[in-house]
């Protein structure tokens, strides 16, 4: 997210939806960073 120095301008729900979609589509892994 922008507040963490990133470039994404989407809300948290959109970000979570993208991660869920990756899992549902069979992604081998997703990289998640927590602050």
Contact 4, 35 (CB under 8 A): yes
CA distances from 33 to 4, 6, 12, 17 (A): 11, 12, 13, 16
**pTM across the whole model:** 0.65
Domain boundaries, the chain: 1-34
Contact 18, 11 (CB under 8 A): no
Cα 11-17-10 angle, rounded to 5 deg: 20
pLDDT at residue 13, rounded to an integer: 95
Q: Is 6 helix (H, G, I), strand (E, B) or coil?
A: coil
pLDDT at residue 5, rounded to an integer: 81
pLDDT at residue 35, rounded to an integer: 73
Q: What is the pLDDT of residues 16-27, one digit of tens each?
A: 999 999 999 999
């Amino acid at each position: 997210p922008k507040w963490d120095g990133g470039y994404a301008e989407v809300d948290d729900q959109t970000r979570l939806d993208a991660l869920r979609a990756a899992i549902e589509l069979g992604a081998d892994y997703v990289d998640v960073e927590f602050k």
